[in-house]
Structure formats: C-alpha cells, structure tokens
C-alpha cells in the first residue's frame, strides 16, 4: 500500500509572483484535493521575488506547503524549473496561482495519464468567465502552419462537441506532466522568461520525441487568465512578440519551413515601418540578441527527436493542422 501511494503521489508546483491574495483564495482547495487524492503528495510554491506578503502568508497560513523563495524576479519558466528540480514525485501538476480546482479533477488527470507509458502530459479542461456572461473553455490547443509561422488555435469547444484534432501542447497553467520526461527535454526553456510560449515549445519538443499528449475533458478547473501577469505594458506587448520568434528559431528543422518563415519575416520588416508600427522590428531585434543562446538550446533540446516539425505539421509548402 505504501509503495502504491508513492507511485500515485503528485508534486504540485505553483509559480507565484506577488500572488498573496490569489494563494489565499485558491490554495485551500488544492490542498484539500491533494489530501483526498493521495496524502503522500506535496505542494510546492516557488515565490519569484515577490514584494508583497506572500512568503509570510504561506508560512503562517499554509505551513504544509513547501516554499522556495527566489530573491530576484526572473519569470515563469525558470521558476517552474526550480520547483521541478525540488519535486519528490514523478507526476508533476503545474498549476497557476489563479486556478480554482474542482473536486475529483486529479483522479481524472491521473486516469488519462495512465492510459500509456509514453504519456508526456495531460491537460485539464479550463473554464473562464466570458465578458458576455458566458463561459470560455480552454485547454486543447492545436497548431497550423500559415504564412511562414506557427498559428495556435483554441479548439476546446470543438473537442467537447466531438471533434478529434491532435493536441499541440499542454498548458503549464494546469496540466499533469512526467517529471522524468520534462527533465529529459531540459525543462522549460528559460529563453522565454519572463513569460509566454515556454509550454508550447516544450509540448512540441515532446511530440518530436514521439511522446503522447492527452486532454482530460472531465478534469475541470476555473482559470482567470491574465491575473498572474501584472507587468509593465511594454513587456506585455514586446515579450510575447519576441518569444513567438524564438519559438520558431528553436523548433523549425526543415529547409522548406525555414525558407517560408524567413521570407515572411522579411516582408514584415519592410511592412512594419510603412504602416508606422515598429513593435515587430523591436521584438525582432530583442530576439536576435538571443541568437547565440538559441543555437545552444537548439542543439541541446533537439536531441533524440524521432519526428521533424515538418512531419508533425504534415507540410512542406501547404497548411495542415495537427
């Protein structure tokens, strides 16, 4: 029985930055779910240089939580990597601090995970209140090749109605991962710090390895997207644009895709000043600065692939969805 508990135990890793109020709201449900699922499980909060009372709150109100305190705010990927390194169990639940879990969601994730030994990650169904009073569903993302770029689409609503596209990646906001496989890939790429596209890159690297991604539609959570990223406006606009380019430069691995990508980058360089929009050019310059590290990461993270990105997309010169 003790061995079985160890095998099914989960390490929850929650990166947090100035999230004291969010932790106060959502940690009780996480801890209750863990206790009912497997009391051997653990919860780790990686505080990424918070200036609020997060550390004090965690130590006073949630003493059962393992707290890792970082002196400097660096970003999502590096914070998650610190938590993964400290985790004791093979199954990793990566969870944003603004996610409200629902009873029984861990069992659904675990059940979907156990369907194959090749499972890399399982994504949960995420519900978010919409501005019109309805509910937006997320958690199932696909990717297409269009105009020299990877185009991601949220297909969750279609999947809930019976559609069966392939999953491109599992969001790091609420998904169950194999710790061993994540570490084999080198963890989350810290080139993307402070935020955006690190989970997409990791998921597509896993697909290149031939590992399985899955979606547990019965495993539901509520997620208020964006409430964890309180950054200055220039970062909110420029960092995603920079990281979008880095994503391609880390992943593209066929001459045809590279030719199409570079051709469209050149077109955007020409078009942006004409239209009086310089954000793309600035983001491109920010990405180029990181090229030496990109080349190093490409070699390191691309090892062991059994499929090319071109094969995954099923394209050479035409668009196809996975």
Closest-CA residue to 45 (of 6, 11, 91): 11
Block residue for tokens 């059994």: 306
Q: Which residues pair with 70 in a beta bridge?
A: 48
Q: State the Cα–Cα distance between residues 188 and 117, nearest whole angstrom.
A: 21
Measured in whole angstroms, the distance separating CA 118 from the mean position of its chain's CA atoms is 19
List per-residue pLDDT tens for the chain, 322 residues long.
455 566 689 999 999 999 999 999 999 999 999 999 999 999 999 999 999 999 999 999 999 999 999 999 999 999 999 999 999 999 999 999 999 999 999 999 999 999 999 999 999 999 998 878 789 999 999 999 999 999 999 999 999 999 999 999 999 999 999 999 999 999 999 999 999 999 999 999 999 999 999 999 999 999 876 545 555 676 788 999 999 999 999 999 999 999 999 999 999 999 988 887 889 999 999 999 999 999 999 999 989 999 999 999 986 434 334 4
Q: State the Cα–Cα distance between residues 218 and 205, nearest whole angstrom.
A: 26
CATH 3.40.50.300 for domain 2-223 = no
What Cα–Cα distance (Å) separates residue 195 from each residue in 5, 79, 90, 243, 246?
34, 11, 25, 8, 12
| Lookup: tokens for 290 | 């990181």
Cβ–Cβ under 8 Å, residues 113 and 214: yes
Instruction: Report pLDDT for 276.
Output: 77
pTM: 0.92
Instruction: Report pLDDT for 5.
Output: 60
Closest-CA residue to 25 (of 238, 193, 224, 268): 224
SS (H, E, C) the chain: CHHHHHHHCEEEEEEECCCHHHHHHHHHHHHHHHHHHCCCCEEEEEEECCCCCHHHHHHHHCCCCEEEEECCCCCHHHHHHHHHHHCCCCEEEEECCCEEECCCHHHHHHHHHCCCCCEEEEEEEEEEECCCCCEEEECCEEEEEECCEEEEEECHHHHHCCCCCCCCECCCCEEEEEHHHHHHHCCCCHHHCCCCCHHHHHHHHHHHCCCEEEEEEEEEEEECCCCCCCCCHHHHHHHHHHHHHHHHHHHCCCHHHHHHHHHHHHHHHHHHHHCCCCHHHHHHHHHHHCHHHHHHHHHHHCCCCCCCHHHHHCCCCCCCEC
């Amino acid at each position: 029985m003790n061995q079985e508990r160890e095998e099914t135990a989960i390490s929850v890793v929650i990166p947090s930055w100035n999230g004291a109020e969010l932790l106060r709201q959502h940690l009780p449900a996480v801890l209750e779910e863990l206790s009912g699922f497997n009391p051997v499980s653990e919860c780790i909060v990686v505080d990424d240089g918070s200036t609020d009372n997060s550390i004090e709150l965690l130590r006073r109100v949630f003493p059962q939580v393992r707290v890792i305190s970082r002196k400097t705010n660096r970003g999502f990927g590096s914070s998650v990597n610190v938590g993964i390194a400290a985790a004791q169990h093979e199954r990793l639940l990566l969870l944003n601090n603004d996610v409200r879990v629902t009873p029984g969601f861990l069992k659904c994730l675990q059940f979907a995970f156990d369907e194959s030994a090749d499972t890399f990650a399982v994504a949960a169904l995420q519900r978010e209140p919409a501005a019109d009073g309805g509910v937006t569903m997320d958690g199932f993302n696909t990717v297409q090749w269009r105009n020299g770029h990877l185009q991601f689409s949220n297909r969750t609503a279609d999947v809930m109605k019976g559609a069966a596209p392939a999953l491109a990646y599992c969001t790091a906001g609420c998904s169950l991962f194999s710790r061993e496989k994540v570490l084999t890939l080198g963890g989350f790429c810290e080139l993307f710090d402070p935020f955006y596209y690190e989970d997409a890159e990791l998921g597509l690297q896993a697909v290149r390895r031939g590992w399985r991604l899955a979606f547990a539609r019965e495993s539901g959570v509520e997620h208020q997207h964006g409430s964890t990223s309180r950054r200055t406006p220039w970062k909110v606009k420029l960092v995603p644009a920079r990281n979008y380019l880095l994503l391609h430069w880390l992943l593209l691995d066929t001459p045809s895709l590279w030719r199409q990508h570079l051709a469209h980058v050149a077109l955007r360089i020409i078009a942006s000043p004409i239209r009086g929009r310089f954000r793309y050019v600035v983001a491109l310059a920010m990405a180029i600065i990181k090229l030496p590290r990109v080349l190093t990461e490409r070699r390191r993270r691309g090892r062991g692939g059994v499929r090319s990105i071109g094969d995954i997309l099923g394209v050479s010169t035409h668009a196809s969805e996975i």
